[in-house]
Chains A and B, each alone.
Chain A
Amino acid sequence: MAAKILIVEDEPHIVEAVRFLFQREGWECTVEADGALAVDTVSSSDPDLIILDHMLPNKSGIDIVKELRQRESSRDVPILMLTAKGQARDRQMAQLAGVSSFMTKPFANGELVEEARHLLADKA
């Protein structure tokens, strides 16, 4: 069964790049661009991995992580935060909120795919 990955990202070109890379690996991708809808989308799509941006319209990535971690259903879902805010402080806040992994934009395609594979393997 193919792994299901939710990409929460509002930049269409980045979504396109990530989806291209993941589909090439044979993973199923769902996209959500609105921060406010992200948590519901997680509930409905029940992904194996979430790729999450920080700067999102209407709700920040950190808030989404916190909400997800409070829910029974999404407590253990691996979350990879992929953000342009790469300062140490941002990384700390993300880890405190409960992300599984943290990567900054711009990213190396290989590294992103490798990290995603890693998180999917851990979950399994």
Chain B
Amino acid sequence: MISVELIIGATLLYSLLLFFVAYLAERRVRRGHAGFLRSPVIYTLSLSVYCTAWTFYGAVGSAARNGLEYIAIYLGPTLVFVGWWWFLRRLVRTGRRERLTSIADLLSSRYGKSTSLGVIVSLIALFGATPYIALQLQSLTLSLSVFSQASLPHNIGQTAALADGGQVWGQTTAFLLAIGLATFTIMFGTRNLHASERHEGVVTAIAIEALVKLASLVTVGVAVCYWILTSPVDLTPALDQLAQNTNLFDQRWITLTFLSGFAIICLPRMFQVIVVENRDDKQLSMASWAFPGYLFLMSLFVLPIALFGLSTLPASANPDLFVLSVPLSQGQTGMAAFAFLGGFSSATSMVIMAALALSTMISNNIVLPLWLKLSGSGPAASYDLRRVTLTSRRISIIVILLFGYLYFRASGGSGALAAIGLIAFLGVSQALPALVGGLLWQGATKAGALSGVITGFTIWAYASFLPSFEGQFILSASILDSGLFGLNWLRPTALFGSEIQDPLVHATFWSLGLNSLVFVLVSVFSRPTALEQFQAYIFTSPRVDSQYKRAYLQPSSEHELLAVSQRILGREEASALFRAAAQKQGITSGLPKLTSDLIEELERQFSSVVGAATAHALFAQMTTDGYISVSELVALADESAQVRAYSAELEEKSIALETAANKLREANMQLLHLGQQRDNFLSQVSHELRTPMASIRSFAEILREAQTDTARGGTQNSAEQTSHFASIIHDESMRLTRLLDNILEISFLESGQARLDVQFVALPQLLSRAELALNSLISEHGAIIDLELHTEDQLVETDADRLLQVLINLISNAIKHNDKTVPHILISTNVIDVGAHPKLVIHVQDNGPGIASEQREKIFEKFATVTPTNSKTGVGLGLAISAQMMVNLHGKLHLRDSGSGSLFEIIVPLSWPADEPS
């Protein structure tokens, strides 16, 4: 016989071995000799965490009770690995590329880096895993108790009902086990935060455990086969019983197959070993055939052991422990001890991986976002995010195992192992629609995923998880019997009046069915944000071109970024990363430039430590305005539609503003110009006034002197001279008066205050009035005036006096400034049709000296210094007045280019513009 102490001793030794293996593995990796540790073999073996104590012991129990049902548990994963290998590959590749740390991280990241989805999936995983961990503790204590009671031969295998003392002993064992597992997980799972969330130490230890599991089970199986063949045991009754219980391909069996297939993808620990710990596609391609092979070997001897146990052991023996009790009953204590180590391996590997995966989930998806929000400080604040992360993970591991232990105590070791395991399977499977849809269907939205998961989770809790307490927890027995609020259709085990007998099939149907339906419907009818769309694209496209992941960063934050990276990735790792990036950029010393590649890499590294959502938040916090990752650019694109509309409006406004500004500038220039013009005008006026005044004053003084001289009896001017001087004074006075009149007139015209007397006038009449006025001047100079009227009886609606004044001014200029002995002036008239408004054109052409072309523009300025060649007097204000007059008459006055002499052109509308007051 073997004592419990011996078993415990062996177990402790085995545990120490595992610690040592894990330690060696980590050391090798640290020294850069990871080679073998990352081989596909180790990877494949690590996938065996799927086979927990439940499968190790429970498969035999299940076979004994329900025939071949257990095959479904192995068939599901096999089908996934063989048939859905392409999906796993996509999942693994996506996980590697996006540095996903957990299934919660995947869903959160895929659905627009949603924190809420991460929290909910983490909680579901925690809910699902707690009974599962309790199950492992239970199976360990149960299996250990086999040995404690085996000292009494008649009690072999009768462990179903433990004595009171035994129960306390079992709880102590479970508690110690929980502590030991927490220690191991913390030591090797949260030793440091590797940039890649991979744990070679843990994985290697688990690979060893996988081998022990398989070897021990195969040993027992082979032995049992030997015993069957060598001893005259009648297996017929057991076979009959088994055949009776077997219901292959019925509802439950199919459901189980599917559920275990779902679970291999959705279980947190499976995601951890399949996706997170994965290094390359080679690992997965080996696992795709080797893992089903492993499962096959694990299941191969289940049936013989069950049959042999049923046939040789008392009916009261617990079939869940046949793996141990059968060798014991044959006196093979050593083999039993080996089998116990196999069971121990199954339980511990599951607990370690589950705790590891869950702690990552909880710290990355619940604790860190909360902490970041509550601490309120940006990453620039002085804290070590690594320390926070590690601490939160370590505490999470302790809490998870504590939950498992408390659940184990609360459930009191009741219920068949398989039942709890299946409930857990269904719980975690609620993430499946969102997961599969997320990777294959670009249209899946966050709203859809959230509502689907919540729906499924609620129904699972109501129809499967809570009823497993049989009325002891939250759901009372009455609710279980007659439904919530007494509503029959809300009975947890017969929702909506369905007639599905098996509670598991019932819960699976409703929870996953409604989950998927809600997920699809809400996705179809909800609008994803741009970030969601972007993430959807990243996750659903098998190959994502890196150009879609460019990031833009404000320069000058390299130092800040390095400091933050050191806090998150660790001082050495961050420095190495920056050094490598600098080298890549050809920078020998100093920090690398913040290229999009570097930023992209950093965000990925960050998310491998703290999860996508948190990393995203960190980056957003760190560079509030400078950093825009492409995903954010996409988010911006959402708003940019509105912004574009707005900016078009702005552009219009700015154009309008610019136009206004230009007008103002022009107006200002005009004002300035006008100011200068006014100054010039005043100085001109003063000059023009001073000249006649000089003559007047001078002659006035001469005349006055002459009188005083005469009084003193001096020389006397002749009477003729005196009269001549007086007439000069008179002429110059008249000149002054005219000048003042002109100044007043042009001021009036320019200010628009001139009164116009608009009436119809016949052109010939107008011209004869002009001739009349100029009669004396014409005869004085002997000038000849010719008329060429092409508009005989044309009436013009205008101010005739003003137009006449312009004509007179032009004609008199033409005569006065003419250098020919016979001034010749040609006046011609015409009507031109410019659009709807016909205009009268009058040409006044002379045979004088003409005006040099470079002076033509100046001629209409006031007091233009331009003077016709040979002329002794300036033009004064005459032309300026005429030009201004024509403006007031809605017409124009030009100087046209002519062969010789000057050609002035008057243009005036035939009819006065209707909307203008006269």
Interface residues of chain A, those whose CB is within 8 Å of chain B, are 10-11, 13-14, 16-18, 20-21, 33, 55, 57, 84-87, 104-110
Contacts and interface: CB of A to CB of B under 8 A. Distances in A.
Interface stretch (B512-520, B639-647, B693-701): B693-701
Contacts of A85: 683, 687
Interface string B696-708: 1111011001000
Contacts of B732: 13
A106 B697 contact: yes
A17 B695 contact: yes
A33 B696 CA distance: 20
Nearest to B691: A84
B694 A106 contact: yes
B694 A108 contact: no
B30 interface: no
A18 B698 CA distance: 8
A17 B699 contact: yes
Nearest to A15: B695
27 contacts: A10-B872, A13-B695, A13-B728, A13-B732, A14-B694, A16-B728, A17-B695, A17-B698, A17-B699, A17-B702, A20-B702, A21-B698, A55-B687, A55-B865, A57-B867, A57-B871, A57-B872, A84-B686, A84-B688, A84-B690, A85-B683, A86-B686, A104-B690, A105-B693, A106-B693, A106-B696, A109-B698
A110 B872 CA distance: 28
Given A14-B698, A87-B683, 12 more contacts: A11-B694, A14-B695, A16-B728, A17-B694, A17-B695, A20-B702, A84-B686, A105-B690, A105-B694, A106-B695, A107-B694, A109-B698
A8 to B, nearest CB: 14
Nearest 6 pairs between A and B by C-beta? A105-B694, A84-B690, A17-B698, A13-B695, A106-B694, A106-B697
Contacts of A10: 872
Given A57-B872, A85-B683, A87-B683, A105 B867 contact: no
A11 B691 contact: yes
Interface of B: 683, 686-688, 690-699, 701-702, 705, 728, 731-732, 865, 867, 871-872
B744 to A, nearest CB: 20
Given A10-B872, A14-B694, A17-B695, A108 B701 contact: yes
A72 B52 CA distance: 125
B700 to A, nearest CB: 9
A11 B699 CA distance: 14
A14 B702 contact: no
**What is the predominant secondary structure among interface residues of chain B facing chain A?**
helix
Contacts of A20: 702
Contacts of A109: 698, 701-702, 705
A54 B909 CA distance: 43
Contacts of A55: 687, 865
B698 A33 contact: no
A18 B687 CA distance: 19
B687 A106 contact: no
A33 B867 CA distance: 14
B774 to A, nearest CB: 24
Contacts of B871: 57
A51 to B, nearest CB: 12
Contacts of A17: 694-695, 698-699, 702
B691 A14 contact: yes
B690 A86 contact: yes
A13 B701 CA distance: 14
A109 B731 CA distance: 20
Given A13-B732, A16-B728, A85-B683, A106 B698 contact: yes
A14 B693 CA distance: 10
A106 B690 CA distance: 6
Contact of A107 (B698, B865, B872): B698
Nearest to A105: B694
Contacts of A13: 692, 695, 699, 728, 731-732
Most chain A CB neighbours (cut-off 10 Å) among B694, B695, B699, B732: B694
B94 to A, nearest CB: 85
Contacts of A87: 683
A108 B697 CA distance: 8
A37 B702 CA distance: 30
Contacts of B872: 10, 33, 57
